[in-house]
Amino acid sequence: NSSIFRLLSGTVRFENRILNKKTIQSISVFGRMPSSSPWNFFCELSALKIQDVTSAAVVCDSPSAKIAIIPAKVFHQYADKHHEFRSIFYPSLCRNLAFMLRGLHGRTLVLEEGSKNV
């Protein structure tokens, strides 16, 4: 399903994009995740309740990485249509990934300090 993406190779970058009339004004990179991470499903951070409103996206660092921007709305629509995904994977996935991104959980994920206007 095109609503959910799995990172097969490379590294993904978590970005916060400031948009003005569909034009990107600035991009802040605030984390990276390698394909070796066991948590390789992604959605906007607003879906994880990390930020109330965000244009954050998961973006390829590597041209060989098979991943794309996933709006929170699309992620939730997929979960609503696939009850087994929602009931089995979605709650624990979001909870664990949210903890990792907040630095409260170790595992494989290590966030790096990002740079402005990349």
pLDDT for the residue 102: 47
Structure letter (DSSP) for residue 35: T
User: pLDDT at position 47, please?
Assistant: 45
How is residue 11 annotated by DSSP? E
Neighbours of 23 (CB within 10 A): 7
- The dihedral formed by the CA atoms of 52, 101, 41 and 48, expressed in degrees to the nearest 10: -20
Which pLDDT score, from 0 to 100, does residue 25 have? 74
- 86, β-bridge pairs: none
Integer angstrom CA distances of residue 41 from 24, 82, 88: 25, 15, 14
pLDDT tens across the length of the chain (118 residues): 223 334 555 565 656 566 677 676 776 665 566 656 544 444 444 444 444 444 334 443 344 433 334 455 555 666 677 666 555 555 555 555 545 444 433 233 333 333 333 2
Please give the pLDDT value at position 12. 57
Q: How many CA atoms lie within 13 A of 92 on its CB side?
A: 6
Flag whether the pTM goes above 0.85.
no
19 pairs with which residues across the strands?
24
- Cα–Cα distance for residue pair 27/30, rounded to 1 Å: 10
